[in-house]
Structures are given as structure tokens and as C-alpha cells.
Amino acid sequence: MATILRQVARLEFSGFLSTLSGGCRHGRPYARSHLGSNNRNMSTSSKIKVELDSSNGIAVMKFQNPPVNSMGLDFLTEFSISLEKLELDKSCRGVILTSAQPRIFSAGLDIMDMYGTGPEHCGAFWKAVQDMWLKLYGFSKITIAAINGASPAGGCLMAMCCDYRIMADDPRYAIGLNETQLGIVAPFWFKETMVNTVGHRTTELSLQMGIMYSAPEALKIGLVDQLVPEDKVLSTATNTLAKWLTVPGHAREISKSMMRKPTVDKLLANREADIENFIGFITKDSIQKSLGMYLAALKKKKV
């Protein structure tokens, strides 16, 4: 467990940056190979595996970026490309996000995309984070997070972007936006995503204290919607999504847009300023020094 926590710690810092990206800079064509009679593998990505079941219209996106599904620039770009293709695929009716890695959903954004990379790379990285969030939070189809492991920082943000969250009921796993514990301030769209999920007061406490919630605590505050044994997370998500599909799609999509569009529009209106703020912050000598010290401390722990 100590090893897992160290791996999670490496990426917790990046949660302050975690959202979804949308460019096509690293796009790869979908493979149309068949998996049995109904499933088809829609992705050749090494970091994200996408399978669409043609019998029910449910796609499963599995994160497979060991050791802890860190969200680097490549991961974010591949995620957004995959999600955009599913948005356009008329045979897809809903998407489940989950992890192929044991004991971790996602530990957040990769610190190595922020340390020693320069303003241009940092700007491209942050744009990818914005794009990821815009595509997932504004996704018209049903999304369910099957949280089968720890989910700090960016992993928590990604889960909150989904319509429904099912988490493994395991004392080893926690979820939350813990940026302040690392001296970081979550941007306004992180904050508003959490406000829209658990309310203003709980968000205020969570962000100020950088709280990581156990699964039962997360259920109590509404950060997740359901707890099940770990081996039942994916099957429960599939069954739940099937129930959601009984609601007339057009009415559900309009209702979702009505709730989320104001938050999406706010980021769209402030994207460039948000990127500039991020670049200005992350490239400061003091912040880069802190990142270097943080990485050095992690290396010592691994020895």
C-alpha cells in the first residue's frame, strides 16, 4: 500500500490541473476489429482502451497508463479524441469510464508535463486539460464513472464530470480535490464542478483543507452516488447505464445541458486568460523549485 500511495502522490499535485483535452494532434485511427459478436475494439491507443458493445450502445473506456493512470499530454489528447469519436458515433448511447490498473482510477495530471518544460509546452498541456474537461463535462450522452481505485485530484475531477459515480467500497481508496495540501489552488472550473456536485459549503471546506474522502464519506456528501464491492463496480455501472437509457434521450440531453451549460460557457469565455494564468504560475522560479524538491523527495522515498 505504501508503494501505491507514493505513486499516487507523484500525480496528486497535478490534480490542480486535471480536466479533459480535445485536440487531434496525436490522433490515431480507430481499429474496427471485432471482440466477440457484439463488442468492437474502437481504439489502438496504448493508454486508453475503448470497447463499444453494439447490442446495447454502451462504450467502456479503460485507462491503461501504468502505474497510476497519470494524465499527461498524450493521455489527455487520446482521451479527448476517443470521447469525441464516441460523441459522433450514433451507435454509442453512453460511456463508462474505469481503470485497467489495479487499485487506482487516476491519480491526476502528470507533474512531468509541468516541470522544466517551458511556457509553450505548459500552455499546450493546460489547453489539453481544458479541452478534456469541456468534452467530458459537456458530453451529451450518458457518462458513468466506475471508480475502482483511488481517485485524488484530477481523478476526482474526471469522476465529477460524469453523470453518475459508482465507487469501490474499499478502505484503501479515497477521492477528493486535495490541491491545497500541495500548496496549489484549484482553478475556478474545478471549484464550480465540485460546487455543482456537492454544494457550496462542502466544496469550501474540501478545497480549503484539501480533504481526501473515504468511500463512505464520499457517499455521505454526494461526491459519489453508490458504493459496491470492487469486483461489482463495472457490472453495476453497466446495469445503471442501461436504466438511464430508458429515459427519453432528447429530454435528458436538454436537461443536462441546461444544468451544465453556464459552467461550460464560463470557461469558454475565459480560456486564454486561464491558460495565461496557469503559465504565469507554473513557470515561476519558486514553483519550479518546489516541483524539483517534490520530485527529489519522491525519489528518496523510492530508494
Q: Active site residue: 51, 78, 179, 192, which one?
A: 179
**Is residue 253 flagged as an active site residue?**
no
Question: Around Cβ 46, how many Cβ atoms within 10 Å?
Answer: 12
The answer to whether 167 touches 179, Cβ cutoff 8 Å, is: no
At 253, the amino acid letter reads: E
Q: Active site residue: 52, 76, 109, 177, which one?
A: 109
The answer to whether 119 touches 279, Cβ cutoff 8 Å, is: yes
Q: Active site residue: 65, 69, 148, 178, which one?
A: 178
Nearest of 138, 206, 228, 215 to residue 171 by alpha carbon: 215
**Is residue 120 flagged as an active site residue?**
no
**Is residue 109 flagged as an active site residue?**
yes
**Is residue 86 flagged as an active site residue?**
no
Angle at 156 between CA 220 and CA 4, to 5 degrees: 100
Q: Which regions of 100-197 does DSSP assign to beta strands (E)? A: 103-104, 142-147, 149-152, 164-168, 174-176
Q: Active site residue: 22, 94, 149, 154, which one?
A: 154
User: Which residues are identified as catalytic?
Assistant: 109, 154, 178-179
